[in-house]
Structure 1
Amino acid sequence: MPDILHQLHKGLFKDHISNWATKAAKEGSNEVDEHYRTMSHHPDLHHFKKGINLMTQWSSTEYKQMEKVFLGILDFTYYAHFEMHMDESLQLLDTTWLVFHQNKDVFKDLEI
């Protein structure tokens, strides 16, 4: 069983996906922060009024809220949360992981 907070929410999402997205945005811009600041208010989403780059300490709740706007990684993370898997859920987990790998070249192309 993976350490959900440190391996998925902090490790995979915050340390990698979020950082890559920030670096992929136009250098010197706060594009990712701006997207978080200008999100429409919704009862199921946390509104990061100041963006995310100024935050120095994160809770698992904040990681989960940030992930909700990164839909591709959200699927993988929630399949990985399952305490028990069947053949179908393992196939879905594998498929979401393969889709990520098929689309990660944008980060390689930008040398991130």
Structure 2
Amino acid sequence: MLKTEEDSQIVRAVQALLRKKPCFSRQVAETLLDDFLGGGKVTASDTLTAREREVIQLVAEGQSNRAIADRWAVSVKTVETRRASAMRKLNLRSGVEFALHAVRNKLNEP
């Protein structure tokens, strides 16, 4: 289920889980089916959270960890953690590789 699902869908999902039955939203079911039929492979970029993607974009735009923390109203440590997590998932070893990844994947464009 997606967190944007309507209340009735969430209730139906909980009822299915109580009966130990699977329950997928329409969007999730379509994605799973497309991946299965198309032999879709999950890439490292697919495993990034929205915040990890955003931190990559903001770093590529030249934002500092402090500026990102201020923008998100979080601590610098939180930004550093998101950045480190994204780098680990993407197997990047330096800030330069991090920024290059963003540019190559056009993540620095609005």
Work out whether the TM-score is over 0.5. no
TM-score by length of 2: 0.27
TM-score by length of 1: 0.27
Structure in which a larger fraction of residues adopt helix: 2
**Structure of higher CA gyration radius:** 2
